[in-house]
A and B are shown apart, each in its own frame.
Chain A
């Protein structure tokens, strides 16, 4: 399978715990994006990388959230001190670095904070 891969698919955690998600993009894609989707809503942009550089962060990305893409390949999204409001689907997408390049989404990681 050469699509965008996200792990884990599901994560249940207790409030206050830290969680980390991983995204493996399509191998030749140098852009990688993180989105968050709550039930019944469209995905909301969080941040994106070009290669290893994080180029933009949404104001939705509080200081409890950190994303990395250390070698310009896979990326991790960490949430510290999780809150119930963090419960959502976290989607990763990747694309080539062209204005009209299609973004391919992974299946997401569903986070439930109890």
Chain B
């Protein structure tokens, strides 16, 4: 079946660096993706989303890139801060917020 998966389980960066978290998907018909941040003991929190008619979308310190040719998306976090430490999930919205999540990447930010 369709799956959304992540390349790296853990990413360690220094405070102030830029972070890039990658995600691959398998269904070429997928057209709506969302990045979530999950801190320990909390539920996932929406960060940014992107539809397939776009290849880039920017938010505050975050940018999502979508490459439909290779079925890959990435989340870029600029000037990473200790508060960014969390697990990040990409998810496909298959319709009406029925989400298919990937496994997750743990981001560790050291001062």
Contact = CB atoms under 8 A, between A and B. Distances in A.
Interface of A: 4, 31, 33, 35, 40-45, 48, 56, 91, 93, 95, 97, 99-108
Contacts, number: 54
B99 A43 contact: yes
Interface in B14-54: 32, 41-46, 49
A76 to B, nearest CB: 18
B89 to A, nearest CB: 5
Contacts of A41: 103-104
Contacts of A95: 97
A95 B91 CA distance: 16
Interface size class of B (residues with CB under 8 A): 20 to 34
B96 A93 contact: no
Contacts of B43: 4, 91, 93, 105-108
Given A43-B101, A105-B45, 19 more contacts: A4-B43, A31-B96, A33-B98, A40-B104, A42-B4, A42-B89, A42-B101, A44-B101, A48-B96, A91-B43, A91-B44, A95-B97, A99-B96, A100-B32, A104-B46, A107-B41, A107-B42, A107-B43, A108-B43
Contacts of A35: 99
B95 interface: yes
A109 to B, nearest CB: 10
Shortest beta-carbon contacts, A-B, top 8: A42-B101, A105-B43, A103-B97, A95-B97, A42-B89, A105-B44, A102-B46, A43-B101
A45 B100 contact: yes
Contact of B98 (A56, A97, A107): A56
Nearest to A103: B97
Contacts of A4: 43
7 contacts: A31-B96, A42-B89, A42-B91, A42-B104, A43-B44, A103-B46, A105-B45
